[in-house]
Amino acid sequence: MRQAWCLDFITKPIDLGGLRVVVGQALRVSERRPEAETRLIGDSEAMRAIRATITKLARSQAPVYISGESGTGKELVARNIHDQGPRSGQPFVPVNCGAIPQDLLESEFFGHRKGSFTGAVADQPGLFQAAHGGTLFLDEVAELPIPMQVKLLRAIQERCVHPIGAQQEVPVDVRILSATHKDLAPLATDGRFRQDLYYRINVIELHVPPLRPRREDIPDLVGVCPGGYYLR
C-alpha cells in the first residue's frame, strides 16, 4: 500500500499569495529528477530509511525537527533535505543557537538598522532575511532563552521579522528546520522550552541514530577522506 505524504501545510486565514507560492513549489518538485545520491554515508537499514525519509521530507515545506545525539550528522541531514527540495537554489543558512551571546540574539536573528544601538554603524540583515526564499536551520534550538523563543515563534507564525530600530516589519519566506541533542519533549513539559514553539517546529520529527547500532556503516565511514571527499 502506498502512503501519501504531506507536501506543505497552510495556516488559516488562507492567503492567496502564499497559496500560489506553495502550488508553484509543488510543481517544481514534480519536475525535478531524483537525486543520484545524497552525501550521507552508510548502507545500513537505518541509513537507507533515513535517506528515503529525507526524499519525502524534501518535497514538503513543513517544519522538521531533527533529533539525535551530538555527532550524528543532524546538520548534514538538514542540508540534504534542503538540497533535494524546491528551495535548493536558494540559501541554506545554519545557525548554532547556543553559540550566539544572549544580548546579540535579536540582532542576529532579525537584523538591525543603522544607529539603533551603540555600534550599529550600518543596516544589518538578520539570519531570517539571509535565508529568505531558502531554509533556516536552527541547530541546538533548545539553548535559546525563553524570551527569544517568544520572538522566534512570532517570526515563524507571522512570516515576518522586525529589525531593531526599523519602523516596519519585513516579510520573510523561509522553511524552518531545527535540531538539538537534547530531548525537547520533557523540556517543553517542564516549562524550560515553550510548548507552542515546540509544536510549531516539530510538525515532523526525524530521528538520526548514533553509529553504535549500525556498525556495518563503519567501513564506509573509514573511506571518507578529510575535507568531505569520499573514496569509492
Distance (Å, whole) CA 24 – CA 145 = 36
Best CA proximity match to 61, nearest among 7, 24, 133, 4: 7
Best CA proximity match to 113, nearest among 158, 161, 167, 174: 167
- 126 and 108 Cβ atoms separated by less than 8 Å: yes
pLDDT confidence of residue 225: 53
pLDDT confidence of residue 20: 52
Under-50 pLDDT residues of the chain: 1-5, 7, 26-38, 229-232
Q: Is 30 exposed, middle or buried (0-12, 13-18, 19+ CB in 10 A)?
A: exposed
pLDDT confidence of residue 221: 72
The radius of gyration computed from the CA coordinates of the chain, to the nearest angstrom, equals 19
pLDDT confidence of residue 219: 73
pLDDT confidence of residue 129: 98
pLDDT confidence of residue 33: 39
3-state secondary structure of 163: coil
Q: Is 127 exposed, middle or buried (0-12, 13-18, 19+ CB in 10 A)?
A: buried
pLDDT confidence of residue 113: 92
Best CA proximity match to 63, nearest among 141, 117, 1, 122: 141
Q: Which amino acid is at 31?
A: E
Best CA proximity match to 82, nearest among 141, 143, 39, 127: 39
| CA 228 to chain CA mean position, Å | 21
- Asked, as a colleague might, if the bond just before 63 is cis with ω within 30 of 0, I would say no
